[in-house]
Structures are given as structure tokens and as C-alpha cells.
Amino acid sequence: MVASVGYVAKTKGTKERLSRQGYQLVNEEEVLKLVEDSIASPHRPPEESQVLIGIPRDFSMVRRDDSPLLFDVRFAGLY
């Protein structure tokens, strides 16, 4: 989640709720750099590409009852 701009920055309580679910804060500059790098140095063709940011590397710190990521089979390899 981007901490400094957008919905999370403007909506009270959203940052705290998403943090409890395991999402990590990133700043606007990090997001812009990631987009720039993804365009400049793609690893796959655009139609096969996805970029994910803000997902924790260590799911042991995430509350099991609070994160929808833990119940999504697409993220099974992360925990």
C-alpha cells in the first residue's frame, strides 16, 4: 500500500487495517521506480506480466484471522 498518496493516505484507519492484514507500506517514489524498472527491463511480455508490491516476505508476522492473502491459493507459495 502506498502510504503518502491516494486512498490509503486519505482514508482514516485504512493504513492500520491493511497493516494488520500483512500489507507493507511503500512510498510513492518506490512505486514509481518499480513501474519505471518494469517498463524499461521487462522479464516477460506485457500480456504475461504482473507486478506485486507491499506483500510481506515473512507471513509468520501476519495475523492468520485477519489477512485474506493467507486464504488465497495464488499466494500459497509465500507462506
Confirm whether 23 is domain-assigned.
yes
Question: For residue 1, is it within any domain?
Answer: no
- Statement: residue 3 has pLDDT above 80: yes
pTM of the predicted structure, to 2 decimals = 0.54
The total number of structural domains in the chain stands at 1
Q: Which domain holds residue 14?
A: 6-78
Per-residue pLDDT tens for 13-70? 999 988 887 788 888 888 888 888 888 888 888 888 887 777 666 656 555 666 666 6
10 within some domain: yes
pLDDT at 79 over 70: no
**Looking at the domain assignment, is residue 29 inside a domain?**
yes
Q: Contacts by 27-31 with C-beta closer than 8 Å and gap 24+?
A: 27/2, 27/3, 28/2, 28/4, 31/2
